[in-house]
Amino acid sequence: MNAKLNITVMLGGPSAEREVSLRSGAAVAAALRELGHTVTELDPQPGRWQLPPATDVVLLALHGTYGEDGTVQRELDALGVPYTGCDAEASRVAFDKILTKQRCLAAGVPTPRYEVFREATGTWPDAWRPPVVLKPARQGSSVGLEFVDRREDFPAGLTRALAHDREVLMEARIAGMETTVGILDGVPLPVVEVQPRAGGYDYTNKYTAGNTEYFCPARLSPETTAAVQTAALGAYRAVGARDYARVDVMVSKDEQPFVLEVNTLPGMTALSLLPKAAAAAGLAFGPLCQRLVDLALRRRPAARRD
């Protein structure tokens, strides 16, 4: 039997992913209440929030800027309150797709070729061939994602992507299977295969019920599954992650893994992929939420432990 705790769930926030975060937070809060904990839901606005004084631990259900980029983590560190997920530095690195690329390459983790753009240009870059993907460097949940299949579509796509961030990552688009790997306390969970019914895994397909099929475990050979999990774990370690994260990995047609990004506060909605992977490993949603809390409590100051 777990000790009953005063848990503050941070959800919502100021980012472009606010609505998804509200759903994640509501699901987590309900699961923790079901386990007997006292749960306060806190929708933080920068500089205008306070934790309930009896808070034992904060469960972060925030997504996107402020909540996932290391900002709220630094604020919680200053308060000395344990919180779920990665620390401020790992959050900052993982939220920046360019820094993540650099860390992965330095660690020998396979990742697609890339280039960085900081201003709109009407010129297709030399030595590149379509298709490519354009990604704002510091957004999540596929916000601002642009798929470019023809050279003439590049200028408009880059302009749209730059509307979401001052830097845009252009990445070679890998043909093959989209997968994601949850990592829980340094251990990879079963691989989830993501198959949009039409188009790519963009914001609409990610959050619209029925638009995407999921297979867990993924329909991969044991050897390829192990390679995908190894690449995901390598990326998790490269950014300095802790407790849990979700790593997106493309598997090429010749079954080679390519890490796309590391999500340090993955979604916890009914459609979310980390809960799917945990369930496939035998860990239901409520116990998963409890596990995240338990991992955070390991960092509680000794004087506050039971």
Say which amino acid occupies 238.
A
Assign residue 158 the CATH number of its domain.
Answer: 3.30.1490.20
pLDDT in tens, 101-121: 999 999 999 999 999 999 998
On whether both 195 and 251 belong to a single domain, the answer is yes
On whether both 76 and 48 belong to a single domain, the answer is yes
pLDDT surpasses 50 at 8: yes
On whether both 98 and 214 belong to a single domain, the answer is yes
255 lies in some domain: yes
Cβ atoms of 244 and 163 within 8 Å: the answer is no
pLDDT in tens, 245-280: 999 999 999 999 999 999 999 999 867 899 999 999
On whether both 14 and 33 belong to a single domain, the answer is yes
More confident residue, 304 or 228: 228
On whether both 298 and 155 belong to a single domain, the answer is no
DSSP state of 2: P
Cβ atoms of 171 and 200 within 8 Å: the answer is no
68 lies in some domain: yes
Closest Cα partner for 226 from 252, 248, 255? 255
Residue 187 class from Cβ within 10 Å (0-12 exposed, 13-18 middle, 19+ buried)? exposed
On whether both 179 and 239 belong to a single domain, the answer is yes
192 lies in some domain: yes
On whether both 166 and 179 belong to a single domain, the answer is no
53 lies in some domain: yes
On whether both 193 and 103 belong to a single domain, the answer is yes
Structural domain tally of the chain? 3
Assign residue 191 the CATH number of its domain.
Answer: 3.30.470.20
Tracing tokens 């390459």 back to the chain, one arrives at: 105
Cβ atoms of 91 and 73 within 8 Å: the answer is yes
105 lies in some domain: yes
Give the whole-angstrom CA distance, residue 239 versus residue 229: 16
Average pLDDT of 11-29? Answer: 95
pLDDT band (50, 70, 90) for residue 303: very low
Average pLDDT of 231-236? Answer: 98
pLDDT surpasses 80 at 207: no
pLDDT band (50, 70, 90) for residue 212: confident
Assign residue 53 the CATH number of its domain.
Answer: 3.40.50.20
pLDDT band (50, 70, 90) for residue 202: low
273 lies in some domain: no
Closest Cα partner for 145 from 109, 93, 99, 199? 199
Q: Which of 172, 205, 222 is the last residue of a domain?
A: 172
pLDDT > 90: percent of the chain: 84
On whether both 154 and 239 belong to a single domain, the answer is no
Strand partners, 181: 247
Strand partners, 7: 39, 57
Mean pLDDT lowest for which of 105-114, 120-129, 144-153? 120-129
215 lies in some domain: yes
Q: Which residues of 141-172 are buried (b: 16+ CB within 10 A; e: fewer)?
A: bbbbbbebeeeeebeebbbbbbebbebbbbbb
pLDDT band (50, 70, 90) for residue 301: confident
Q: Which of 135, 150, 172 is the last residue of a domain?
A: 172
On whether both 101 and 205 belong to a single domain, the answer is yes
120 lies in some domain: yes
Q: Which residues are catalytic?
A: 17, 141, 207, 246, 248, 261, 263, 267
On whether both 138 and 31 belong to a single domain, the answer is no
Full-prediction pTM beyond 0.85? yes
On whether both 251 and 202 belong to a single domain, the answer is yes
Q: Which of 152, 172, 192 is the last residue of a domain?
A: 172
SS3 of 94, please? helix
pLDDT in tens, 171-192: 999 999 999 999 999 999 999 9
Range of the domain at 181: 93-110+175-264
Tracing tokens 């796309």 back to the chain, one arrives at: 260
